[in-house]
């Protein structure tokens, strides 16, 4: 490959899950979001990175690990439960090998899954010692992965712009936790849901964060209009922080289930699972304790086409792998043409920023990790137009960019926050704002708290942060697990108000506080003083209190 590429491609994977940890129950359905992501996305990505490193394939990727996800990955209780999840999958796959014996189509698939699950368990337990952060830190140290932070609990920050102290706390607490986990300052941040509003970027600069991402229109509607569109970052005038815009063309090819690669008929069908297909007495021990059916992760059918689930054809992993190879080549070819065309117009190397939810790769699109591996190998050896790069490295190589103020924007439906503020979830924000006001006021009143008061204040801050997770509003809009999302919002609000009421009354219940600290144990080094009232900040950002 040429030492001076025509342009660059930044592949960005955003890994995040809401903080779900229920030690008070032996089994909790929503905890399986983590176990499924570990089994189907994070471990397969580690396998890909390990193979690339073993073969000395040059590459650079960017990965968000949100603070809630990091907390769950390093939690010993959840690690043990994840081990149990993998062990049950191996047991079920073994039974499937017996049940499907002699079936020329299903028997090889059952054996395929058994081997996959055994490999995943070995990787999780032996390579990673049950903590996937170990592997990801190693990749960052080796220079092939740039790990970004996120807001502390993935709050949709524009909806809290009227409370600058709340926004600042989400950023500062996230940066502090990143330093605890990764031992260095974060260079970049994934703004949850790509939610940006004017005035946010100086708070990023205060933490020495150098770049963030917006959806395409956040850059295209910037002031003044950028000369190079989304093919170059812009520097925010008030902070010097770089804003990178999402490339629409490359995103659509991967994101879209209808027009993109994941909808191809040869790929595995997500919605056909033996958890729903097989006899309840047989599958019962591997679904919910009450017998309610759920996905097991063993799926024997491919997408096939626009047919009902009952008409899906058998899945062929080798055929799907060949299709992933073809699609990786097609994606690379399109980026070559796109970069070559853009560079001729710009007269400088363009960068294509292609961000995706990490869980798309493996969980939703089963072949996504192998597609990614094929793409990385092809980029390294089968073309000479562009290089893979991280935004931090791009800024190091190219440090002169236009000054532009990005516009308010998000990604998702319509691109202007409608998914996180609508008739299904608008009721939560009056409560969340009241919680924020109480937290800010409490932080200002307790300048020299006792040890017990400090614990209560820190736990109140945790409860506020957990209630602010954008995942709850998202779930309410999507219409899945709505009751759980509403319960989480109410539960954290109730705990915050009780903690602050107890503080005001001078009677903190230490036994109850200890219980809540154990249940909601995220962010171990949190400091409630991040919420100290700041009149100058409010004037600067136009917030009220």
Residue 92 has which token pair? 């079920």
∠ CA 332-337-343, rounded to 5°: 120
Q: Choose the catalytic residue: 32, 36, 177, 193.
A: 193
Is the bond preceding residue 538 a cis peptide, omega within 30 degrees?
Answer: no
* Cα radius of gyration (the chain): 24
* Residues 47, 17, 244, 235, Cα dihedral to 10°: -120
Residue 394 has which token pair? 């791009």
Closest CA to 149 of 79, 198, 203, 199: 203
Cβ atoms < 10 Å from Cβ of 112: 18
For residues 156 and 304, what is the distance between their CA atoms, to the nearest angstrom? 37
| Chain mean position to CA 405 | 26
* Residues 46, 52, 56, 57, Cα dihedral to 10°: -130
What SS3 state is found at 389? Answer: coil
Helices 164-182 & 451-467, crossing angle to 10 degrees?
Answer: 100
Judge contact between 388 and 9, C-beta under 8 A: yes
Burial of 101 (0-12, 13-18, 19+ CB in 10 A): exposed
- Between the alpha carbon of residue 296 and those of residues 285, 314, 358, 376, the distances in Å are 11, 17, 20, 30
Q: Choose the catalytic residue: 357, 509, 517, 527.
A: 357
Residues contacting 512, CB < 8 A, separation 6+: none
Judge contact between 199 and 543, C-beta under 8 A: no
Sign of CA dihedral 205, 206, 212, 214: negative
* Catalytic residue flag (residue 357): yes
* Catalytic residue flag (residue 525): no
Sign of CA dihedral 530, 536, 540, 545: positive
The catalytic site residues sit at 193, 357
């Amino acid at each position: 490959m040429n030492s001076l590429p025509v342009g660059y491609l930044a592949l960005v994977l955003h890994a995040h899950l809401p903080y779900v940890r229920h030690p008070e129950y032996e089994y909790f359905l929503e905890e399986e979001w983590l176990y499924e992501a570990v089994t189907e996305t994070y471990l397969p990505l580690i396998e890909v990175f390990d193979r690339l490193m073993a073969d000395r394939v040059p590459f650079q990727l960017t990965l968000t690990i949100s603070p809630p996800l990091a907390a769950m990955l390093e939690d010993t209780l959840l690690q043990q439960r994840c081990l149990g999840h993998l062990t049950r999958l191996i047991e079920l796959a073994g039974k499937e090998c017996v049940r499907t014996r002699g079936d020329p189509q299903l028997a090889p698939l059952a054996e395929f899954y058994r081997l996959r699950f055994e490999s995943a368990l070995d990787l999780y337990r032996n390579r990673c010692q049950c903590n996937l952060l170990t592997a990801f830190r190693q990749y960052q140290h080796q220079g092939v992965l740039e790990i970004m932070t996120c807001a502390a609990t993935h709050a949709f920050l524009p909806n809290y712009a009227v409370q600058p102290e709340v926004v600042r706390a989400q950023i500062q607490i996230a940066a502090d936790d990143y330093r605890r986990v990764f031992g260095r300052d974060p260079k970049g941040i994934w703004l949850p849901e790509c939610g940006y509003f004017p005035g946010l970027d100086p708070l990023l600069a205060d933490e020495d964060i150098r770049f963030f991402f917006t959806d395409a229109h956040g850059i295209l509607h910037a002031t003044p209009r950028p000369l190079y569109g989304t093919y170059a970052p812009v520097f925010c005038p008030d902070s010097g922080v770089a804003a990178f815009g999402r490339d629409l063309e490359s995103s659509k090819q991967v994101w879209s289930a209808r027009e993109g690669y994941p909808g191809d008929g040869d790929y595995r069908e997500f919605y056909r699972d033996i958890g729903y297909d097989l006899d309840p007495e047989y599958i019962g021990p591997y679904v919910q304790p009450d017998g309610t059916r759920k996905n097991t992760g063993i799926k024997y059918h491919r997408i096939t086409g626009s047919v009902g689930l009952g008409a899906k054809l058998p899945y062929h992993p080798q055929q799907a792998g060949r299709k992933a190879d073809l699609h990786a080549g097609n994606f690379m070819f399109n980026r070559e043409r796109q970069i070559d065309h853009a560079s001729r117009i710009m007269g400088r190397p363009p960068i294509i920023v292609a961000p995706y939810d990490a869980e798309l790769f493996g969980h939703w699109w089963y072949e996504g990790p192998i597609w990614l591996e094929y793409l990385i190998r092809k980029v390294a050896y089968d073309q000479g137009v562009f290089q893979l790069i991280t935004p931090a490295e791009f800024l190091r190589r190219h440090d002169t960019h236009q000054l532009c103020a990005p516009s308010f924007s998000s990604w998702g439906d319509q691109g202007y926050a409608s998914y996180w503020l609508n008739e299904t979830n608008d009721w939560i924000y009056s409560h969340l704002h009241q919680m924020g006001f109480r937290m800010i006021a409490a932080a200002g009143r307790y300048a020299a708290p006792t040890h017990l008061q400090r614990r209560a204040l820190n736990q109140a801050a945790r409860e506020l942060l957990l209630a602010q997770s954008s995942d709850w509003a998202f779930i309410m809009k999507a219409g899945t697990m709505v009751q759980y999302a509403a319960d989480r919002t109410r539960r954290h609000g109730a705990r915050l108000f009780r903690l602050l009421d107890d503080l005001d009354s001078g009677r903190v219940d230490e036994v109850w506080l200890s219980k809540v600290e154990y249940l909601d144990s995220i962010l171990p080094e949190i400091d409630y003083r991040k919420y100290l009232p700041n009149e100058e900040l409010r004037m600067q950002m136009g917030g009220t209190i």
